[in-house]
Structure 1
Amino acid sequence: MFNRKNKGPEPVAPANLFTVNEPSSVIAEQVKTIRTNVSFAQQAQSLRTIMVTSAMASEGKSIVTANLAVEFAQAGKRVVLIDADLRRSTVNRTFRIREVNRGLTNYLVRQIDDITEVCHPTMVENLAVIPSGPTPPNPAELIGSPLMATVFDQLKQYFDLIIVDAPPILPVTDGQILSNMVDGVILVVRQNYTDKRAVVDTKERLEQAQANILGVVLNDVRSEGHSGYYNNGDGYYGYEYSEKK
């Protein structure tokens, strides 16, 4: 329903979608590993909604989220990626969505009644995205509204997996609110950047929200003789999986 229609040449994916541009690269292979581990958790816990977040901004969580969504779609899942970072949206740029003023906030403020009207097809088969939409004055209130739960309920009718690009946990409350609405949470931590205390505080806040923490993605890992991903080298993602007891 939301697949891209054939309208001329396939668009070129932005560089940060390396799962599309460089599917055999080391980084893409690491994302496949993350997808595999999350799939194991899905089978064990029947996960339909997964949120990706970080402690602070600039840890790479949006890039991880976008590429993970691509990987699941390429594996045959019907996937929708929601940009719930209403203050600092990136999904529209990553997937080159032109209608940036038709997104999640339009639904949450009742300008649009049908959630499918804010689902945009992408250059990746089986993958649709919902941009954040116009920036609201009250992001946390919108995220915490009953309509946000309705978003998930409605999307489950059309998609196998809902992936949420959430705001970082410590600066704002939005991510913590969302973490209680989804089936599982993945935390992105940037090596040699994220303060250890911040990671501990983030874990505590997620636990306070009774979030199901699936695992941690260690981003910008530096292999010997190479620079990290953010320096356009050959850094890669690590993944640490923890099954909820």
Structure 2
Amino acid sequence: MALKKDKKKTLNNGRTLITLRNSRSPISEQYRTIRTNIQFSNVDSELKTLMVTSAGPGEGKSTTVANLAVVFAQQGKKVLLVDADLRKPTVHYTFNQTNTFGLTNVLTGQISLIKAVNEPTEKNLYVLTSGPIPPNPAELISSKAMEQFFEEAQTIFDLIIFDAPPLLAVTDSQLLANKCEATILVVSSGKTEKELAVKAKDLLETAQGKLLGVVLNNKKMKTSQQYYYYGTN
């Protein structure tokens, strides 16, 4: 999959949510195409848990996951977007929400999932921010509490999408990939080195995670070219 840059439609923090601001734009259509390809990749069963990550930081995975959550919600699915980047969370910035309570509070039993979830303006889209940054992110993600979170969330929502930290930076995403049904890897055109992308793919395989496909982000294209490319491993 490949996405074209859009510098005009951004929030104050610079994160693009073009699917909310201009749902008829060509870029929004690209996100809907990604959504369709994700659905076609799981024709035998309905996908319930999806992780979005990248090889390294700054490759656009948080912008990608936010827009994907929006287009799935626009389709009528009850979507929960979870900020599972417990070291450098950004989802609360993207949706202009507070981060007083979130995933870490749910996992430590301080608050229930229902009370921790925020509902933004888009219909069917619910957001669970990271909550306070913990001293032990990997331990929380691999805990029994996380398994219970998966079980409970799947009884409430049609699709749970996780914004996970970069694969090469920490082990958190490998642990989460093992729990999710599928993973999307975001790479940045002209920035992500091929060797790092391959290494990220290898780490997912080692963790027994299912790599569903790759989003090529920030690709500069001529207007005569197609807007997207989709590839699966």
* CA separation of 1:63 and 1:238: change in aligned 2, threshold 3 A: farther
Tell me the CA shift for residue 238 of structure 1.
Answer: 3.7
Letter paired with 2:222: E
Tell me the CA shift for residue 46 of structure 1.
Answer: 3.0
Partners of 2:34 and 2:103 in 1: how far apart? 27
Q: Does the alignment pair 1:106 with 2:97? A: no
SS at match of 2:85: coil
Would you say the 8 A contact 1:215–1:241 is kept in 2? yes
Partners of 1:24 and 1:44 in 2: how far apart? 30
Equivalent residue for 2:147, pick from 146, 149, 159? 149
Q: Pairwise mapping of residues 1-245 of structure 1 onto structure 2 (< 5 A)? A: 14=11, 16-98=16-98, 100-112=99-111, 114-224=112-222, 238-242=229-233
Partners of 1:212 and 1:91 in 2: how far apart? 24
Letter paired with 2:39: S
The percent of aligned pairs where both chains have the same amino acid is 48
Partners of 1:77 and 1:62 in 2: how far apart? 20
Tell me the CA shift for residue 237 of structure 1.
Answer: 5.5
SS at match of 1:141: helix
Letter paired with 2:175: I
Q: Which runs of 4+ in 1 moved over 6 A?
A: none
SS at match of 2:43: helix
Letter paired with 2:189: Q
Would you say the 8 A contact 1:81–1:162 is kept in 2? yes
Tell me the CA shift for residue 236 of structure 1.
Answer: 6.0
Tell me the CA shift for residue 45 of structure 1.
Answer: 3.8
Q: Which residue of 1 aligns with 2:6?
A: none
* CA separation of 1:236 and 1:119: change in aligned 2, threshold 3 A: farther
Would you say the 8 A contact 1:120–1:130 is kept in 2? yes
The count of aligned residue pairs is 221
Instruction: Tell me the TM-score normalised to structure 1 length.
Output: 0.86
Instruction: Tell me the TM-score normalised to structure 2 length.
Output: 0.90
Partners of 2:74 and 2:96 in 1: how far apart? 19
Letter paired with 2:231: E
Tell me the CA shift for residue 143 of structure 1.
Answer: 1.1
Partners of 1:25 and 1:238 in 2: how far apart? 17
Root-mean-square deviation over aligned CA pairs: 1.9
What do the CA deviations read for 1:93-140 (whole angstroms, capped 9, x no partner)? 111113x1110000112212x211111101100000100000111111
Partners of 1:241 and 1:75 in 2: how far apart? 23
Partners of 2:101 and 2:229 in 1: how far apart? 35
Would you say the 8 A contact 1:53–1:61 is kept in 2? yes
Letter paired with 2:116: V
Partners of 2:120 and 2:229 in 1: how far apart? 27
Partners of 1:237 and 1:138 in 2: how far apart? 38
Tell me the CA shift for residue 208 of structure 1.
Answer: 0.5
